[in-house]
Amino acid sequence: MTTFANLAALGSRALFGSPAAALRQLSAEDEQIRMALPVNRRIGFVQLDAGNGCSTLAAQVAGVFAARRSGHVLGVNASAGPHNLIAHAGLGTASSDQPNAVRLFAQSARDALTDLRRSATGLVVQDLRHSPLADASVASWNEQITPISRFFDLTVTDWGVRPPENDLGAVIATSHTICLVARADRYTAEIAASLVPAIHAHQTQPSVVLALVDIDGSAGQAPSRMFSDASLPICVIRHDPELARAGDTIARSRSGRSRRAASTLAATLLAVGAPTARPLESIR
């Protein structure tokens, strides 16, 4: 498995390196993002502690998929608090969407879309929380999302904070691919990386991508051996303060670096779940 890196480096490569190589990378990523999927794909974003940018990344990636793919993309919020996938998709901090009998017994895409909102990028969203202050349970996800997920190309869920001692194992079972989000400092990155073998060993055998968010310029402290592990795809994402508050992350992202990083992460999440797909070029 190729180790992937942040597309932030691509901007300087285009200026000081090979523009042709940069263009090939962008083209390869776009091809990966738009690739046809034989079955619906479920991607779960999760962090072990708060403040790592899990919801922001989930909204960015889901928005990238919705904007570039022809099929419906569903963004699911299961994370407590006001700064979740729904808010970062630009749809406010309203309370949860109520269970709908038409969706629960959906027989068509039209049924599955009943009463669900769309963001500016075309992302269909569903909020699973019973209360804005509480995380949604995995049982709620299974009850409300399982009946409709087959009508979407991709389902991206923001699980928020899910420590291993709580329901992380149950969260893993809902996804084909887990995006484990952590700070890019040595201590936090190593804790996250130490969980990857256990996630791979789960009976559902999900693929895993580690997203390290460089919040305070500490990315250089992450152990170099992590980047040499060919079995662990890693994306290092530079923190964008502009995206920290609630609002449409795609529309408000003024940084080309942030948009490129979201594109790289989106492509990586599909690549690890498609072993026959052409691997993306590492640009670290």
Please report where in the chains the tokens 């190593």 appear, as a residue. 190
Which has more confidence, 104 or 26? 104
Contact present, 109 and 151 (Cβ < 8 Å):
yes
Vertex 238 angle, CA 23 and 260, to 5° = 25
- pLDDT tens digits, 143-193: 999 999 999 999 999 999 998 888 899 999 999 999 999 998 888 888 999
pLDDT at position 112 is 96
**How far apart (Å, rounded) are the C-alpha atoms in residues 192 and 180?**
7
Contact present, 97 and 127 (Cβ < 8 Å):
yes
Average pLDDT over residues 43-51: 93
**How far apart (Å, rounded) are the C-alpha atoms in residues 27 and 25?**
5
- DSSP secondary structure string, 154-170? EEEEEEEE--TTTTHHH
Average pLDDT over residues 75-81: 94
* Confidence band of 214 (pLDDT split at 50, 70, 90): confident
Q: What dotted CATH number matches 8-204+214-271?
A: 3.40.50.300
* Confidence band of 26 (pLDDT split at 50, 70, 90): confident
Structure tokens at 227: 């980047």
Long-range contacts of 197-202 (CB under 8 A, 24+ apart): 198/164, 199/172, 202/169, 202/172, 202/173
Which residues have C-beta within 8 Å of that of residue 75, sequence separation ≥ 6?
58, 59, 62, 66, 85, 86, 89, 119, 123, 124, 125, 126, 156, 157, 158
pLDDT at position 6 is 38
pLDDT at position 228 is 63
pLDDT at position 282 is 31
